[in-house]
Amino acid sequence: MSASPIADYGLLSDSASAALVSRNGSVDWWCPDRFDAPSVFGRLLDAEAGHWLLGPVAGSVRRTEREYVDDSLVLRTVHRTGDGEVAVTDGLLAEPGARGHELGQNSQMVLARVVEGLAGTVRMRCEYLPRPEYGLIVPYLHCRDGEIMAEAGPLILALHSPVPLTCTHGRAYAEFDVGAGQVLGFDLASAPAYGPPPRRLDPVPALAETVEAWRTIRDLHPYHGRYPELVRRSALVVQGLTYRPSGAVVAAATTSLPERLGGTDNYDYRYAWLRDFILTMRALWVTTCPEETGQLFGWAARSAGRSGDEPVPIMYGVTGERDLSEYSLDHLRGYADSRPVRVGNDAWGQRQHDVPGVLIGAHLLRDELGDLSEESKALLVGLAEQATHWREPDAGMWEERGPGRHYLASKALCWGALDSAVKLAPRLGARADPQRWAAARDEVRETVLRDGWNDRVGAYTGAIGSAELDASVLVLPATGMMPATDPRMRATIEAIATELSTDGLVRRWPDETAGFVACTFWLVECLAMAGETERAAALFERTAARANDLGLFAEQIDPRTGAHLGNTPLALSHVGLIGAAWRLTRPDFG
């Protein structure tokens, strides 16, 4: 069996790694240890790359419902068959006793699954095919006393099953009956091959402990604004995509899910982009997460290091790795035959002018600036100096893999960097040059207003000299360069709402077929800032309703079919929802 529709997957996370489980109970993606580690279940990208199915036998299910348990990322799925009802509860376990921000500090990775009979008797099937190293390895399975050890490459996987499993050719399987009131716990632990063996955890109380750990996260982060339930769910997704040991937020849990089925725009999003940094900081601030904003800021500052003449990289690994060189996994067919399947992302070497604005703006967003260290001062001055190179072309927000262009969004973010640097200058010491920075800032704005406007299109276009609309210019009001009520900006917003929208979903550019979720929420913000609150709220609610049944968004949505496309769940989509909800609460928010 191949992978399910992208919207059918639910996210499991322990704030260090992630797994995806389908509606029918198949774990088709899990990368133990950390988000960007090699998968041990990879059916998401190839039918032969491993999975763990635990659900009613094929053809017996009449209805399936699922939900997260008590604002956690522990997933409960209820299957109704002709013979009865059964629930399967899945989670990546927190360390015993962990609470709140202690999530992600695991000594080992454990995937727990608990089967509970609710009514009648349901015939169940368990099929376990571990395939480490993105499916390259078919491990030996050693079955004894309810434990199945898979030893392959750098990992040991230990599965404990309450029902006897038959092992053959790297596969373990069984069919069994579950009656009302019966509870069966399965747990799968991952550990390094040359370290201590995995230890056993009782999955039933361990899952309850994990729910409590997530609940304390919720209790630490009250939100006082519109659409609280939607915001809490999206905030939890962002928490789930946070690599807690460092504070980095990965763009998504997956690699190479296609923007177009059968296409080649399939990239690895299991890294942290500085482009998304300020938006994520704002989302965490809105949902009252001061510790997370501080940790995320510290990660970004350490990863960027000392700022010299070379531009700051646009993205990093979860512990600050810079070299994310890309390669293809040619043995994998790809999701819906969408090749290549990529690991790594060569965008790490691109130049993007938005990075200085992101980092300097983050300093202004934090309330507890206080006295800056000499290292921080040097970093901020260096970033401001990099922003003075705004005249040079770059790869743009969408990371075009061709010659650089003069993208308006990049210029606007350079303006934001210089404007923020001028405001911070009294704290930056003798190397600060606010007069020169202010002159460069004003020149950026003059250039964007003069050369970015296209009379024939009647809007600001994506790049200077271009006649093509681009949704990236929706960030201009948020930078402070111009208000959304400015007549030309207002005309641009309307042009994007008319020309780049299909059934309420905003495409990034005219040739794109699917709507980009984050851009649609940016349009909500622009409409709210322009004073069209009712229209903005209607678009927000229409967009929020396009999430899957668990409230998750992928990168894009096909407006014709409603199918989710691209990597999932995408942090930027959920950050966009949080930002739009808060803008509808506070249209004047900076």
Q: Where are the domains of the chain?
A: 6-218
Q: Where are the alpha helices (DSSP H) in 388-469?
A: 408-424, 434-451
Residue with the larger pLDDT of the pair 470 and 354: 470
Q: What is the distance between the alpha carbons of residues 422 and 360, in angstroms, rounded to a whole number?
A: 10
- Average confidence (pLDDT) over 291-300: 71
Write the pLDDT tens digit of every residue in 410-440.
Answer: 999 999 989 989 998 998 889 999 999 999 9
Contacts of 494 (CB under 8 A, 6+ apart): none
The confidence score (pLDDT) of residue 12 equals 98
Share of the chain above pLDDT 70, in %: 93
The confidence score (pLDDT) of residue 345 equals 96
Residue with the larger pLDDT of the pair 356 and 366: 356
pLDDT classification of 293: cutoffs 50, 70, 90: low
The confidence score (pLDDT) of residue 368 equals 47
CA distances from 437 to 292, 366, 372 (A): 31, 22, 20
The confidence score (pLDDT) of residue 308 equals 55
Q: What angle separates helix 277-286 from helix 354-365, to the nearest 10 degrees?
A: 20
Checking if the pLDDT of 366 tops 60, the result is no
Residue type for position 326 = E
241-255, 347-361, 429-443, 476-490: least confident range: 347-361
Assess contact for 184 and 178: CB atoms under 8 A: yes
The confidence score (pLDDT) of residue 240 equals 94
pLDDT classification of 289: cutoffs 50, 70, 90: low
6-218 CATH choice from 3.30.420, 1.25.40, 2.70.98, 2.40.160: 2.70.98
Could you count the other beta carbons within 10 Å of the beta carbon of residue 119? 14
Site of tokens 């199915």: 53
The confidence score (pLDDT) of residue 331 equals 98
Is the pTM value of this prediction over 0.75? yes
Assess contact for 316 and 276: CB atoms under 8 A: no
The confidence score (pLDDT) of residue 403 equals 86
Encode 46-79: b = buried (16+ Cβ within 10 Å), e = exposed.
beebbbbbbbbeeebbeebebebbebbbbbbbbb
The confidence score (pLDDT) of residue 45 equals 98
CA atoms within 13 A on the CB side of 536: 26
Average pLDDT, the chain: 91
Q: Where are the alpha helices (DSSP H) in 505-570?
A: 517-529, 533-544
- Average confidence (pLDDT) over 75-102: 89
Assess contact for 516 and 506: CB atoms under 8 A: yes
Checking if the pLDDT of 52 tops 80, the result is yes
- Average confidence (pLDDT) over 483-508: 97
Q: What is the distance between the alpha carbons of residues 256 and 337, in angstroms, rounded to a whole number?
A: 11
Share of the chain above pLDDT 90, in %: 71
Could you count the other beta carbons within 10 Å of the beta carbon of residue 93? 24
Checking if the pLDDT of 251 tops 70, the result is yes
Bond prior to 569 in cis (omega within 30° of 0) = yes
User: Rounded to 5 degrees, what are φ and ψ at 325?
Assistant: -50, 140
Sequential DSSP letters for 221-256: ----SSSHHHHHHHHHHHHHTEETTTTEE-S-S-B-
